[in-house]
Amino acid sequence: MAEDRFSALVLTEADGTVAGEIKELSEADLPEGDVTVRVEYSGVNYKDGLILNGLGRLVRDYPHVPGIDFAGTVAQSHHARYAPGDKVVLTGWRVGEIHWGGLAGKARVRGDWLVPLPKRLDARQAMAVGTAGFTAMLCVLALEDHGVAPGSGKIVVTGAAGGVGSVAIAILGKLGYEVAAVTGRAETHDYLRSLGATEIVAREALSEPSGKPMESAVWGGAIDTVGGATLSRLIGQMAYGAPIAACGNAGGIKIETNVLPFILRGVKLLGIDSVMQPYEERLRAWERIGHDLPMDRLESMIEEIGLEEAMAAGAKVLKGQVRGRTVVKLS
């Protein structure tokens, strides 16, 4: 393949149905931007699953190159922070949604959206972290910023065997927390313990309303990737003053709650968004990922696939069948 040509997963839409095909593109096909990156790895996140299946109205224009995150090497740059050869990582900014994304050999983006690859990570590890792991770190930071520390009590993580949940457990385990992992998959119990979970909670234990405004206070903090009935139950189970970092909706968007946990126990519900995080917060989170995420545990979460398998991986992630993180090797 000529130097400026590369393979890309291209989505097209006809009669409301989205299809994906691997095509050969050239740099001239890429959208505007001041940095062109040779993509080494991308990832398959929950949001990628939605996009690859044409759901959620996240993509406005077709043909479209998906991939909400990527890591690689700068090929060309007109941005002051980057020069050819620099290693970079990108998550968020609606790349892969309204901008072309990382499921391609090359991507062109605004340099302001990039973050230098943390020194302790290579491109594959950075995408094993990816949007999911970056979000997990943001959740941990939010809990810490609201006074949570090892010894504050058990931290509950929902959607535990998924991408955000797996990375959150590995980080919390390394930091010395007691971690309760909420999962619907019995076959993941050993995996979750190997990541650092000290207790396993069945998904069903939290999936129905309790019928009470508050329950026994058991959690010193929570990272919730599921939303819906699960988050509704957690709010009533938090210890005095304890925060919940709410980042996901894998189980639904509607919550039913009441004010008593907030006004009698001072429970704090913290919304976490990874997409529009400012640069300084991104640096802070990636620095902590390099420091606090055990690389051997990260390795145990990875399934590596090729570009031709990305569509199938997108279907799997929506069915809740992915364990840990799926990375896509580009070059």
Ligand X SMILES: NC(=O)c1ccc[n+]([C@@H]2O[C@H](COP(=O)([O-])OP(=O)(O)OC[C@H]3O[C@@H](n4cnc5c(N)ncnc54)[C@H](OP(=O)(O)O)[C@@H]3O)[C@@H](O)[C@H]2O)c1
Q: Which residue is nearest to ligand X (CB)?
A: 162
How many chain residues interact with ligand X (CB under 6 A)? 33
- Contact between 330 and ligand X by CB under 6 A: the answer reads no
231 near ligand X (CB under 6 A): no
Nearer to ligand X, 153 or 248 (CB): 248
Residues numbered 202 to 221 that lie near ligand X (CB under 6 A) are: 203
Is 47 a binding residue for ligand X by CB under 6 A? The answer is yes
Residue nearer to ligand X on the CB measure, 10 or 136: 136
Interacting residues of 145 by C-beta distance below 8 A, sequence separation 6+: none
Q: Does 261 engage in binding with ligand X (CB under 6 A)? A: no
Closer to ligand X by CB, 75 or 301: give it: 301
Tell whether residue 64 is a contact of ligand X (CB under 6 A): no
Give the one residue of 96, 159, 173, 261 binding ligand X; rule: CB under 6 A: 159
Q: What's the CA gap between 200 and 212, in Å, rounded?
A: 23
Does 63 bind ligand X (CB under 6 A)? Our answer is no
Q: Hey, what are 251's tokens?
A: 């189980």
Question: How many whole angstroms separate alpha carbon 3 and alpha carbon 27?
Answer: 9
| Residue 223 engages ligand X in binding (rule: CB under 6 A) | no
The reply on whether position 251 binds ligand X by CB under 6 A is yes
In this structure, what are the phi and psi dihedrals at residue 156, rounded to the nearest 5 degrees? -100, 135
| Closest to ligand X by CB, 196 or 251 | 251
For residue 256, give every residue at least 6 positions away whose Cβ sits within 8 Å of its Cβ, in sequence order, or none.
Answer: 209, 229, 232
Question: How many CB atoms lie under 10 A from the CB of residue 290?
Answer: 17
Query: Closest approach of Cβ 130 to ligand X, in Å?
Result: 8
Q: CA-CA distances (angstroms) from residue 139 to 17, 55, 142, 248, 319?
A: 35, 26, 5, 11, 24
Taking the mean position of all CA atoms in its chain, how far away is CA 140? 13
Does the protein bind ligand X through residue 96 (CB under 6 A)? no
How many CB atoms within 10 Å of residue 59? 21
Stretch that binds ligand X, among 51-59, 163-171, 291-299, 307-315 (CB under 6 A): 163-171
Site membership for ligand X, residue 274 (CB under 6 A): yes
Q: Which amino acid is at 28?
A: A
272 belongs to the binding site for ligand X (CB under 6 A): yes
Position 233 contacts ligand X (CB under 6 A): no
Q: Under the criterion CB under 6 A, does residue 232 sit at the interface with ligand X?
A: no
Q: Which of 39-47, 72-80, 215-223, 279-287 is the region at the interface with ligand X (rule: CB under 6 A)?
A: 39-47
Residue 133 makes contact with ligand X by CB under 6 A: no
Q: How far is the CB of 272 from ligand X (least distance, A)?
A: 5
Quick check: 162 binds ligand X (CB under 6 A)? Answer: yes
Segment interacting with ligand X, rule: CB under 6 A, options 21-29, 154-162, 231-239, 294-302: 154-162
State which of residues 46, 100, 113, 177 lies at the interface with ligand X (CB under 6 A): 46
Closer residue to ligand X (CB): 121 or 161: 161
Q: Name the nearest CA neighbour of 330 among 88, 40, 128, 71.
A: 40
Site residues, ligand X (CB under 6 A): 45-47, 131-132, 135, 159-165, 183-185, 188, 203, 225-226, 230, 247-251, 272-275, 317, 320, 322
